[in-house]
Every structure is written in structure tokens, then in C-alpha cells.
A and B are shown apart, each in its own frame.
Chain A
């Protein structure tokens, strides 16, 4: 399989069998070869300048032309050699300071030396990748924010977690990694089915998926009010198309056969039968009759297969509903494109008391409203609205300084702990409750005023 990545292309075949972390060189022809550890040749006292006062950037310092370089590449000359050639043909190289020379070499190496390292996937790697390359798919959830969620939510082996996310399955994967296959997860999903494109990138062993359940958001209200049934499952073909669009086609195609309704089943069965009937008309002989019979049997098997799948799906749905009905989940994680308030207010019902919950939102304002509504609802304490700032540093001898600061772009978190819900009054601080005799206007000042 050909992989195209950042203007490089190569085949992965030669990589199979090597340990994770091996660095490869891409040879001409796109093959991977393990890179030899090259001993940094102890440089003879490098010729270098002291500052750039005399260096003029007129674009003419490199004597090799575009075509020259292309010729070198076509000849199959190794990247290292090309870089060496570039250095030798640069009129200003030896006037640069040592630091500038280092920077120049690093830059050219990156461009001409095709070196890749294959690493094992993890939350660290996948979350940084997604934030750098596809932040839109994960609602701009920055990896440090995700890290906070996992810890604030006390995600660990043995939990019964409720996860609601529209981050391509990245958050789900991160939760699964921290649970190590122990415990259970119920993933709530909008529309026709959960998107788990990123989840499959983690490479979890199959048993991890045994205790992963899913439940449609569209059934939450009925579950809470006690009117839940398995009729009218979310199986809208249009919704399937939307789900497909959001993720990599492979995983989603599997969902579609599972979601066919009864009408679709019979329609397809009818379609199967028609062509054979036509065939029958054209050629009437014993062979064709047999063919028709086996085709019909095949149709019946298909129909039966689909019925079994449907039945299995119903069964799983009932299982998930039963788990939720116990109302004893050990935690709730929400990270979606939807407004968090309705999600929290409903999903918190399924969480046991004295358990943490964390909600992510790309924007602060919806969490302000969420906070207020939660205060009104009661049954939560230690509410905290926060954001993390991240700063990377370049640490080199005599050249240490911050690189970039990531603040504001990573989203916000609202976290808290559930407590036993006292239907009487909200869990405002004790001092307010003790002063129950106080006139209500004074009490209102201490709480958030509804607009």
C-alpha cells in the first residue's frame, strides 16, 4: 500500500517485523530501509562567522539551481550527499554563525533527507496529531485539555464510564486506553451511530471492545421517563450518510447493514428476486430452475442474516439501557459539538453520587450557562471552570527560549463532583442555608440571578 505523507511517498512493506521506534530511510523507489546510526563526524574547527552584519540575502548565495538539485535527486544520490553539496555551493555558509549553520543544516536535512520513524500509537501521539492536523474533527480539543479530562475524571481500570463525544472517537480511545480493558463504557451517540475512526487507530486488542456499549441520545428522554422501547431505532439512511461523511469510510460501512429497517429488508429481498426472474424468462431449462432455487435460498439466507443482525442490535440496545438504568455510573465525560447544558442535565441522572464529571466545550459561554443550570439543579459540588495554557521551549546550549504558547485555543473544561440529589433545595453553601430566615432578596444576591 502506498502511503503519501508530507510530499513523501513510500511503501510500508519493509517495515513489518521491525520494532516500534525504528527509523527508516526512504530510498528511491519508495522502499524503507532501516537507517544506520551515523556517527557525527567530529567536525574540524568549523569555519564560521560571528554575526550577520555582512550577509546579504539576495537569493543568489546558492550556486546550485533547481534543475541541478533535481538532477542530483534523480541520480539517486542520498539526501545526506545533497545537503553536503548545498553547503559546499553556498557562498555565505562559512560566514554564518555556528548557530545559523546548525539551523541551515537542520532545515536542509528536513527537506532532502527522507527519514521516517514508525511509532506505536497512544493517546499522546494521536491527540497531538489530531490537534495539529485535523483540529476541526475534534472540536479543537487540545491534547493538554484532553489530559486534564482524563485525570479530573479519575478515569481508571474498573470504572463504569459514560462517554459522549463527537471527536471522531479520539476521546473514547483515550478513555479506553486509561481503562485498559477493565470496566465498561457506554458511549452515547447522536444520529445513526457513533463515529469511531480515531478509536481504531489506537490498535486496541479485541477484548477491549467487549464491554464497550453504545446508546442513542435520541432514546435518553424515553429512558429517563420510563417509556423506553426498542421500536423505531435510529436507522435513517440519511443519517447514515452524515455519519459516513464524518469518518473514514471503512469503519462506517460496517454500520450500515446493521441499521436496515424492516422495509429495507423486504425491498432488498425483492430486488434480489427480480433479476433471476428475468433470467428465467430468457432461458428455460433445468439448470436455470436449479439456479433460481439456489438464488432464492440465498435471498432467504440474506434476509435471515439481516434479521439476526437486527435482533442482535436490539439485544445490545437493551443491554446498554439496562446498564444506564442502574444509575450508578462512575463518571461522565462530555466533549461534543452540541451545547453542553442539555447533555449534562440529562446524562448526570445516570451517574452515581460522589463521582467526578468533566465537560469540554470549545467555547466558554455555554459552560457559563451550564454552570448556572447545574447550580439550580443541585446535586453537584466543587464546580470548576478552567482552561490550560501550554508553552513549548527550545532548550539548546546558549539558545534556550520559549517556542510557542498555546492559550485560548484549546477549549475549556467544566468539572465537578456529584452528590446525593436533595430534592428539597439546591446544595448552596451552608452559610446560606443556616440563614434561612433571611429575606429572599439578600439570598438571591449570593446566587446567580436568572436572566
Chain B
């Protein structure tokens, strides 16, 4: 397995995702002789994991079961240990497309943070591209390096421990794209420009506050970037539920035996509410929005170097 290449069977040293059920999963480092505790019992790596096909059902000691999944950057984003606030796949998706990333692209990123976006970028630019990621916090930089190594992608990424606003990305005139997720991105625009290739490079800055965005847009303009464009993207998830609504009792007309005006006895409604005469309810499928929806992550500002 690899975060940039699919494998079929679970091997010693792999990072795998244990899926327990709706929204419940966690990553596990597969190792001979190790056991993993779950609420359904124990998983013995040597017998239950190694050699099994990804996607298999594994029965735990207490009888319940889990699925073992092949890691992907998206699953990693949902399960990685947070050292900082991270970017989620919704933002990552639009960033990837707007920066025109693809295999072979050279990307610069700062700050590395918890490596959520980093893993997604590495996956997209593999096998011929490279990610130069800069993190000013020493331990976070080291932890990122360690994770990239464990996930078999260290050849595709270079982690540099420095302040991008002072010292830039460490590369010059080669990047196809630059991504900034730092408190003062306007201070790094100059460095971003010098890291980018001569013509046509793309830049993106992510900031939670509009004041940061304003300063960044101004800086981009001053440095000659064009096509400056700010947007935000929100994800709305729907739960699929079968809903039953009661039919109100509107009483009866004089001698008429038709109860309500609603013809609940007609079975020929296609794909529409099917009535349950006994209980006077109508059932239908609905996509119900979640009650708590993520309101705002940050503004994304894109521009082109020309």
C-alpha cells in the first residue's frame, strides 16, 4: 500500500484504516505481533490483518466486526492526529482544481500544520511532481517528516523548518503553484512570487478573516498577480431518512365514506408517498440536512502570476 498507489493486501508496516461503522474509524499501524483494541474486541495484526485483502471484514474477539480500508488522503484527513486546525476535503478539492494541480506539478505549501492538505497534494502530484512544504514550528515539522516516511511518500516531499515570511520556500522559479495558510500571508506574497515559475503559476491563500483577505489581495495586486479571485465553499451533507407524516383527521362529509381529501388508497403514485391506511400516515424518503452545519472555514483567494 501507499498513499499514492493502491495495493491489494495488507502488509506489515502499512497504515490502514479501521472502520467500525457510521462515521467511526481510526488509523492503525500494521505490525506483526501487535494487537489493537476496539469496542468490538481485539484485532490481532498477525492473524487478522496481514495478508488479508483491503476491504475485508474482520471479526474481533467479542464477535463484532470491522472493515479494514486502504488509506487515502481523504480518509487520513478525517482520522489524523490534529496538531493544528486542519483543512478538510471540501476546501482541499477546490484548492486542487483551482491551482491546476496534476501529476508532475511542483507545489509549495506553508504552513504544513498537521499535514492534512500535504497528503492530498502529494497524492495529486505523484509520481513525478514534488511538494515543498515549510513549517516554522520545529516539532510539527519533524512529526510531518516522520509521517511522510511512514506513509511511503518521503521521496515526493521536502519539509523545511523555517519562517516562510522571512526566508521563503527554499526554491526559486520552479513552482507551478503556491499555497499559503498562515496568519500573515501578505508578508509571504513576495517569496511566493519568486518561488513560482516565470509565467502562469497559480497562488492560493487561505484566511479565516476578511481583513486578512483584504491585505492579501492588495499585496497580490502590488506584486503583479492577475485574475485575483476570492471565494468560499461550504459543504452540505444530507441524511437519507424515511419520514412518516401523519394525515390529519379532517372529519367526514355527511354520508360519504371517503375519509380525508387525500387519496391515500391509490397505490399507483409513482415514487411518491405510499400511504399506510391503518395508521393514517404517509411515508417518503427525504434528504434531511444535518442540524449542525459547518458555517465557515476560511476564504480562498486565488491568483495567477503573469
Q: In the bound complex, do residue A388 and residue B234 qualify as a contact, i.e. CB atoms below 8 Å apart?
A: yes
Query: How many residue pairs bridge A and B at CB < 8 Å?
Result: 204
Which listed residue (B94, B123, B214) contacts A147, Cβ 8 A? B94
Q: In the bound complex, do residue B229 and residue A371 qualify as a contact, i.e. CB atoms below 8 Å apart?
A: no
Q: State A81–B126 Cα separation when bound (angstroms).
A: 50
List the one stretch of B42-50, B57-65, B131-139, B256-264 in contact with chain A: B57-65
Q: In the bound complex, do residue B69 and residue A354 qualify as a contact, i.e. CB atoms below 8 Å apart?
A: yes
Q: In the bound complex, do residue A371 and residue B20 qualify as a contact, i.e. CB atoms below 8 Å apart?
A: no
Q: In the bound complex, do residue A143 and residue B67 qualify as a contact, i.e. CB atoms below 8 Å apart?
A: no
Q: State A367–B287 Cα separation when bound (angstroms).
A: 9
Q: In the bound complex, do residue B234 and residue A389 qualify as a contact, i.e. CB atoms below 8 Å apart?
A: yes
Would you call A284 an interface residue if the criterion is a C-beta within 8 Å of the partner chain's C-beta atoms? Answer: no
Would you call B128 an interface residue if the criterion is a C-beta within 8 Å of the partner chain's C-beta atoms? Answer: yes
Q: In the bound complex, do residue B93 and residue A151 qualify as a contact, i.e. CB atoms below 8 Å apart?
A: yes
Q: In the bound complex, do residue A178 and residue B124 qualify as a contact, i.e. CB atoms below 8 Å apart?
A: yes
Q: Taking the nearest CB of chain A, how far is it from the CB of B140, in angstroms?
A: 24
List the one stretch of B4-12, B108-116, B245-253 in contact with chain A: B4-12
**Contact A156 B214, CB 8 Å, known A147-B93, A388-B90, A449-B283:** no
Chain A contact-residue range equals 35 or more
Q: Taking the nearest CB of chain B, how far is it from the CB of A277, in angstroms?
A: 57
Residues of B in contact, count (CB < 8 Å): 75
Would you call A385 an interface residue if the criterion is a C-beta within 8 Å of the partner chain's C-beta atoms? Answer: yes
Q: State A120–B304 Cα separation when bound (angstroms).
A: 12
Which listed residue (B21, B102, B238, B274) contacts A178, Cβ 8 A? B102
Would you call B191 an interface residue if the criterion is a C-beta within 8 Å of the partner chain's C-beta atoms? Answer: no
Which listed residue (A21, A120, A143, A154) contacts B123, Cβ 8 A? A154
Would you call A152 an interface residue if the criterion is a C-beta within 8 Å of the partner chain's C-beta atoms? Answer: yes
Q: In the bound complex, do residue A152 and residue B74 qualify as a contact, i.e. CB atoms below 8 Å apart?
A: yes
- Measured between beta carbons, the chain B residues less than 8 angstroms from A383 are 240
Q: In the bound complex, do residue B126 and residue A147 qualify as a contact, i.e. CB atoms below 8 Å apart?
A: no
24 contacts between A and B (CB under 8 A): A122-B100, A148-B90, A150-B93, A150-B96, A158-B4, A158-B126, A330-B6, A352-B8, A353-B53, A354-B54, A372-B285, A386-B237, A388-B234, A390-B231, A391-B234, A392-B231, A393-B213, A396-B217, A412-B238, A419-B57, A419-B69, A422-B57, A430-B40, A449-B283
Q: Using A19-B200, A148-B90, A419-B55 as known contacts, list a sample of 8 further A-B pairs with CB atoms less than 8 Å apart, ordered by residue number in A.
A: A21-B199, A150-B96, A158-B126, A389-B236, A393-B232, A417-B55, A419-B69, A449-B242
List the 6 closest A-B pairs by CB distance, nearest first. Answer: A353-B55, A180-B103, A354-B55, A151-B93, A147-B97, A354-B54
